[in-house]
Amino acid sequence: MPEVPEGRGTAIPAPPTPHGSPTPAPQEGPDTPRSALSPDVPVPPCDAPAPVPAPVQAPAPAPHLDAPGQPPAAAPAPPADRPPVSPPASATPNPWQNYDPWAPVPAPLQQTSAAVDTEGARRRRARRVLLLGALLLALVAGGIGGVVGAYLERNGVGGDVVALPQAEEEPAGRAPGTVAGIAARALPSVVTLHVRGAEESGTGTGFVLDERGHILTNNHVVEPAGAGGEISVTFQSGDTAEATVVGRDSGYDLAVVEVSGVGGLRPMPLGNSDSVQVGDPVVAIGAPFDLEGTVTSGIISAKERPVTAGGESGEGSDVSYVDALQTDAPINPGNSGGPLLDSRARVIGINSAIRSADDGTGSGTGQAGSIGLGFAIPVNQAKRVAEELINTGRATHPVIGVTLDMDYTGDGARIGTKGSDGGPAVTDGGPGDRAGLRAGDVITAVDGRRIHSGDELIVRTRAHRPGDRLQLTLKRDGGERKLSLVLGSSDGG
């Protein structure tokens, strides 16, 4: 055994003792501390169990302070066969009581601040986690699928992919002078009329004249309603209202109806038909075949076209004589009464008649639609008639005071030999009598413009107001004469 230098005070540990064999008492040496020998604690014999001492509440030992420069005392050796002493269950635990560093390590302590989950709770929590995971996976998969589907729909699955060029979206507004710009301003003032009478019904167009609810249209549009029919007005917004006839005139083919209790009406601005020139662009709006709000465009093809419509020429008041504006803008049945607009969205005419194609048999069974020959009443004439219908319920007609021979086939308009009532052909004291006209005179021009028939003379006369002065050119006894005539007036029917 190697020697231990003196003065070190280091204890040599004893060799391990087999379990169950007696442990020899430590030997006291000159350098062994007394605290390590524990002389005050008796060691029981190895062949008898040590008595269990009664629990004693010992005060906590004061902390041991080693003198400076001295090595710390070695821990006491555990007794050989002394079993661990357990305190009574009722005793309060004391961390410093019966401390045994060689005692078996107790089981880990369990926190008591939260309850321990049961097996069912753990299963429910696991199900919730799985459900949330499945939902999240479905959302992600759906998003990816949408993106992939959109890509495939736009670009195809593979191979040759066709991508057609397309213009970018443009602003909705249009320049005021374009057809779209004109239509946008005019459509809120255009209405569709549905007329129902005892024997017939029909559809036509009209436009708002003022905020009081007056609407201008053609006489032949409202005529089927008669005295007991119904007139329904449909506005661009889709609202409908019942209308009543204020006044109508078959000679001018114009009528004014009125709606009540309708707010927000937008009157259509009126232009000047005398300023219109051949070739000017125009826009027509109407409801052909009940297709309301239909917009077509064209030009002014001609001015002062003599047009008659309705009934037979010279037979009563059912015939309309119009000194019309001609246009190639498509006009069809249902456009009647609608506005013909200039490039500033102002009314210059009221669409009233069309010329349809003939099948060559003279039966009139040809194409009943537009062939590019449409006719409109000039707005200057329509304005005067509308004002009279609103103010008095009747319109006045300018007259010459003669009866014409409508069967005359020569060039010009010939004055008949007698009147329709059997009296003189030139009314006594009338405008023609005062101007010097005689029976048999052939009128060939009005204000220097040639006329070729009796219908044309009536049309030229109707283009003026009562009281206007006309310059007539006529043939009498083989010679030509010129006369000045002031137009008279008669009430229309």
CA separation for the pair 341, 329 (Å, rounded): 11
Q: How many domains does the chain have?
A: 2
User: Is 480 inside any structural domain?
Assistant: yes
If you average pLDDT over every residue of the chain, what do you get? 80
HSE, side-chain direction, 13 A CA sphere, residue 469: 4
pLDDT for the residue 164: 92
Q: How far is Cα 195 from Cα 204, in angstroms, rounded to an integer?
A: 8
- How far apart are alpha carbons 76 and 41 in whole angstroms? 11
Is the pLDDT confidence value at 95 over 90? no
> Which residues make Cβ contacts (< 8 Å) with residue 284, sequence separation at least 6?
295, 296, 297, 298, 327, 329, 330, 331, 335, 338, 339, 340, 341, 351, 374
pLDDT bin (cut points 50, 70, 90) of residue 195 is very high
- pLDDT tens digits, residue range 305-353? 998 876 544 444 567 888 999 999 999 999 999 999 999 999 999 999 9
Q: Are residues 377 and 475 in the same domain?
A: no
Catalytic sites, residue numbers: 220, 253, 336
Residue 439, domain CATH: 2.30.42.10
Looking at the fold, whether 316 and 457 belong to one and the same domain comes out as: no
For residues 338 and 286, is the Cβ–Cβ distance under 8 A? yes
Asked whether residue 274 falls in the same domain as residue 376, the answer is yes
Residues 224, 343 within the same domain: yes
Instruction: Give yes or no: residues 385 and 426 share one domain.
Output: no
458 & 324 share domain: no
Question: Are 279 and 400 members of one domain?
Answer: no
Is residue 378 in some structural domain?
A: yes
- pLDDT value, residue 214: 97
The amino acid sitting at 35 is: S
Tell me whether residue 75 is in a domain: no
- Of 113-127, 171-185, 269-283, 352-366, the poorest mean pLDDT is in 352-366
- pTM, 2 dp: 0.65
Residues 154-191: tens digit of each pLDDT: 666 666 778 899 999 988 888 999 999 999 999 999 99
Range of the domain at 408: 396-491
| Residue 306 in domain | yes
Confidence of residue 25 (pLDDT cuts 50, 70, 90): very low
Q: Are both 183 and 210 inside the same structural domain?
A: yes
Q: Which residues contact 133 (CB under 8 A, 6 or more apart)?
A: none
Query: Are residues 385 and 404 part of one domain?
Result: no
pLDDT band per the 50, 70, 90 thresholds, residue 115:
low
Residue 387 resides in a domain: yes
- How many C-beta atoms surround the C-beta of residue 78 within 10 A? 12
- Residue 82 in domain: no
The pLDDT value recorded for residue 159 is 61
Q: What is the pLDDT of residue 368?
A: 65
Give mean pLDDT, residues 424-435. Answer: 94
| Whole-number pLDDT of residue 283 | 98
- Between 171 and 48, name the one with better pLDDT: 171
Q: What is the per-residue pLDDT for 85? A: 52
The C-alpha angle 391, 392, 394, rounded to 5 degrees, equals 125
CATH assignment at residue 270: 2.40.10.120
Q: What is the mean pLDDT of residues 285-300?
A: 95
The set of long-range contacts for 79-83, using a CB threshold of 8 Å and a minimum separation of 24, is: 79/23, 79/41, 79/43, 79/50, 80/17, 80/22, 80/23, 80/43, 80/46, 81/22, 81/23, 81/44, 81/46, 81/49, 81/50, 82/44, 82/50, 83/49, 83/50
Q: Are residues 400 and 388 part of one domain?
A: no
In the chain, pLDDT over 70 holds for what percent of residues?
70
Most confident of 109-123, 297-311, 436-450: 436-450
Of the pLDDT bands very low, low, confident and very high (cuts 50, 70, 90), residue 487 is very high
Residue 94 pLDDT class (50, 70, 90 cuts): low
Residues 209 and 270 placed together within one structural domain of the fold: yes
Distance CA 93, CA 99 (A): 11
In this predicted structure, which of 12-21, 98-107, 117-126, 467-476 has the lowest mean pLDDT?
Answer: 12-21
Lowest average pLDDT, out of 109-113, 409-413, 486-490, goes to 109-113
- Alpha-carbon span 316 to 183, nearest angstrom: 39
215-256 pLDDT, tens digit per residue, is 999 999 999 998 788 999 999 999 999 999 999 999 999 999
Higher pLDDT: 86 or 140? It is 140
34 domain-assigned? no
CA distance 407 to 247: 32
> Does 450 fall in a domain?
yes
**Are residues 387 and 402 located together in one domain of the fold?**
no
28/200: higher pLDDT: 200
Q: What is the mean pLDDT of residues 385-401?
A: 95
Average pLDDT score over residue span 275-280: 97
Residue 9 has pLDDT above 60, yes or no: no
Lowest mean pLDDT segment, chosen from 78-92, 177-191, 283-297: 78-92
| C-alpha radius of gyration, the chain, whole number | 60
pLDDT higher than 60, residue 62? no
